[in-house]
Amino acid sequence: MTAKKVWKITSNLITGLLFLLLIFMIFVVVSSKASGGEPNLLGYQLKTVLSGSMEPTFKTGSIIAVKPLSDTTNLKEKDVITFMQQDQTIVTHRIIKVIKQGDQVIYQTKGDNNEDADVNPVMAQNVVAKYTGVTIPFLGYLLDFAKSSKGMATLLITPGVLLLIYSALTILKALKELDKPKRETEKTA
């Protein structure tokens, strides 16, 4: 394989990766702003892990995918759920006990890394979603940064500028290649 072919393949790969990065960053920023929180992807919500209460299941700074639920009364022990606490914060912990009182279903939860169960049991109507088993380590830090105004500007502008610079370099290289035959004919004349 010649150096030209290797350069062309590498060039196409870099262009494609920069373009995909730009599209992904636009998606993350727009989705975060539209939902007022974490982005949604194919019906799943992406949540940022803010504490170590569920380690080693997922580490602080990870992104987890959760599936919103319409029926929150049929969950079972060992399911990992995302729920709204009384102070309106969102928490993701594991169900350690299901309590049924007539029509009411209440879940006792606990973080995997916590010694004690959560003080307040979770009423079924406060369950927001169920953990799907998908975790992406460290991406939560990037997502939190993307939600800030500096992060949004940086993550949208940087891939675009890199793509423009790379395109300009590719165009300059192509122009030099076009000039090469002209210079060679001038030398022989």
Residue-wise pLDDT tens digits, 65-80: 899 998 888 899 999 9
CB atoms inside a 10 Å sphere around CB 118: 19
Q: Is residue 142 part of a domain?
A: yes
Mean pLDDT (the chain, rounded): 82
Distance (Å, whole) CA 131 – CA 75:
11
Q: Is residue 104 part of a domain?
A: yes
* Reported pTM: 0.63
Range(s) of the domain holding residue 51: 3-176
- When divided into structural domains, the chain yields a total of 1
Pick from 31, 8, 47, 18: which is nearest to 140 by CA?
Answer: 47
**CATH value at residue 90:** 2.10.109.10
In a 10 Å sphere around its CB, with 0-12 CB exposed, 13-18 middle and 19+ buried, how is residue 14 labelled? middle
Distance (Å, whole) CA 101 – CA 124:
12
Which candidate in 35, 51, 148, 167 is catalytic?
51
- What confidence score (pLDDT) does residue 29 get? 64
- Sign of the CA dihedral with 161 first, then 137, 53, and 96 last: positive
Task: Name the residue with higher pLDDT: 43 or 107.
Answer: 107
Residue-wise pLDDT tens digits, 166-187: 888 888 888 887 777 666 666 6
Q: Is residue 182 part of a domain?
A: no
CB 114 within 8 A of CB 66: no
Q: Is 32 one of the annotated active-site residues of the chain?
A: no
Distance (Å, whole) CA 136 – CA 141:
11
- At residue 144, does pLDDT exceed 70? yes
Q: Is residue 188 part of a domain?
A: no
Q: Is residue 148 part of a domain?
A: yes
Q: Is residue 184 part of a domain?
A: no
Q: Is residue 187 part of a domain?
A: no
Residue-wise pLDDT tens digits, 82-128: 999 988 888 999 999 999 988 899 999 999 999 999 999 999 999 99
pLDDT grade, residue 46 (50/70/90)? Answer: confident
